[in-house]
């Protein structure tokens, strides 16, 4: 049976900071929670969670709802009923918890959507009168998330609402697992040969993200020596972050599938060739999910063999029971 080098060992445990209400903690403004099944059921076995809440420790539970208010071009946080300005108190607490979270060597963060502190995008900036006039008024990030992005701009961040989208979920989880492997890799004090192996085994994963960035990463590995290893690893990490921040497109994934298929093309029967081409096109048209094509290529690998492909992470990048490749909408 074919073994994949990166999945022989247990999948790396993810290190995730998560808005506490998403974990089921009753810390929302109304004393409730926003428990999220994907986090608490699907990821529970695969992640170490670092919960946080920017509001409850400062404002208590339950509490008055708050909103972002544009006051002469400066964004303040005010109570919706009393208009009490709580910006400074919240920011003071946020400035304390962000460094503590970043010390945990996080792979990523999941924040609460539509929150004036944790929201990732499209958080309304109200006028001092309490009005909001659609396109006339700006929207942005919550107070905590904006500070976090400023402090750690390359950190992988998503909100639970966006993770309902199969495409965004697959991209985010692929990014997290790759970053977790990189984190473990760095902690192993890798040799130059191991650095080369990491790059080789992630070739098709990186190509599926950005061929341009992948080509830029190669020289960093090829030119690594015992003397410049630290500098090359740091430069490589920046490129890795940039590549993983790209969302996989159907065309890029098909290019990778065709590269893998090419290893077997001369050995396959006409029937097998036809089955691959038909499956690839059905994936392109969103008739079948990617996992169906991957399983077909894994079958070819099982039957015909390839030492090079047997270690490619793209074939098995995360636990199968997360079902990230099982929806036709997981790629665009």
Residues 93-115 have pLDDT tens digits of 999 999 999 999 999 999 999 99
Q: Which is higher by pLDDT, 310 or 2?
A: 310
Evaluate if residue 297 carries a pLDDT over 70. Answer: yes
Question: Looking at the DSSP assignment, which residues form a beta bridge with residue 85?
Answer: 78
For the chain, give the mean pLDDT.
95
Extract the tokens encoding 255. 């290019």
End-to-end C-alpha distance for the chain, whole angstroms = 32
DSSP 3-state helix, strand, coil percentages of the chain (rounded to 5)?
50, 10, 35
Evaluate if residue 6 carries a pLDDT over 80. Answer: no
Q: Where are the alpha helices (DSSP H) in 130-249?
A: 143-151, 166-187, 192-201, 203-209, 211-222, 229-245
**CA-closest candidate to residue 320, choices 278, 288, 289, 274:** 289
Evaluate if residue 5 carries a pLDDT over 50. Answer: no
Write the pLDDT tens digit of every residue in 162-220.
999 999 999 999 999 999 999 999 999 999 999 999 999 999 999 999 999 999 999 99
**Residue located via tokens 């993983």:** 244
Query: Model's pTM, two decimal places?
Result: 0.94
Ramachandran angles phi, psi of 68, nearest 5°: -85, 135
Please give the order of strands across the beta sheet that includes 66-71.
74-79, 66-71, 123-126, 139-140
**What's the pLDDT at 135?**
79
Write the pLDDT tens digit of every residue in 275-296.
999 999 999 999 999 999 999 9
CA 166, CA 181: separation in Å to the nearest integer?
22
Eight-state DSSP code of residue 215: H
The overall longest dimension of the chain from CA atoms, in Å, is: 74
Q: Which helix (H) or strand (E) holds 51?
A: strand 47-52
**What's the pLDDT at 1?**
29
């Amino acid at each position: 049976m074919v073994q994949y080098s990166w999945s022989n060992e247990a999948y790396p445990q993810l290190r995730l900071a998560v808005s506490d209400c998403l974990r089921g903690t009753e810390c929302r403004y109304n004393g409730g929670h926003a428990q999220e099944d994907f986090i608490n059921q699907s990821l529970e076995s695969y992640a170490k969670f670092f919960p946080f809440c920017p509001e409850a420790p400062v404002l208590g539970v339950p509490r008055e709802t708050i909103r972002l208010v544009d006051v002469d071009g400066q964004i303040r946080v005010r109570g919706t009923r009393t208009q009490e300005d709580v910006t400074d108190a919240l920011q003071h607490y946020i400035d304390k918890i962000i460094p503590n979270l970043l010390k945990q060597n996080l792979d990523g963060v999941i924040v609460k959507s539509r929150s004036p502190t944790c929201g990732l995008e499209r958080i309304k900036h109200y006028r001092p009168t309490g009005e909001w006039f659609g396109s006339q008024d700006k929207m942005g990030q919550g107070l905590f998330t904006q500070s976090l992005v400023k402090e750690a701009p390359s950190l992988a961040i998503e909100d639970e609402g966006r993770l309902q989208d199969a495409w965004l979920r697959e991209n985010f989880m692929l990014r997290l697992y790759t970053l977790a492997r990189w984190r473990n890799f760095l902690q192993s004090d890798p040799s130059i040969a191991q650095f080369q192996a990491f790059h080789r085994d992630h070739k098709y994963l990186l190509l599926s993200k950005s061929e341009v960035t992948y080509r830029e990463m190669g020289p960093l590995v090829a030119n690594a020596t015992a003397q410049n290893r630290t500098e090359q690893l740091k430069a490589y990490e920046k490129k890795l972050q940039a590549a993983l921040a790209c969302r996989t497109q159907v065309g890029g994934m098909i290019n990778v599938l065709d590269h893998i298929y090419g290893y077997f093309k001369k050995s396959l029967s006409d029937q097998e060739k036809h089955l691959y081409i038909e499956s690839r096109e059905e994936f392109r048209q969103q008739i079948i999910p990617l996992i169906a094509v991957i399983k077909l290529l894994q079958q070819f690998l099982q039957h015909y063999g390839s030492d090079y492909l047997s270690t490619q992470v793209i074939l098995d990048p995360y636990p199968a029971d997360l079902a990230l490749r099982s929806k036709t909408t997981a790629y665009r």
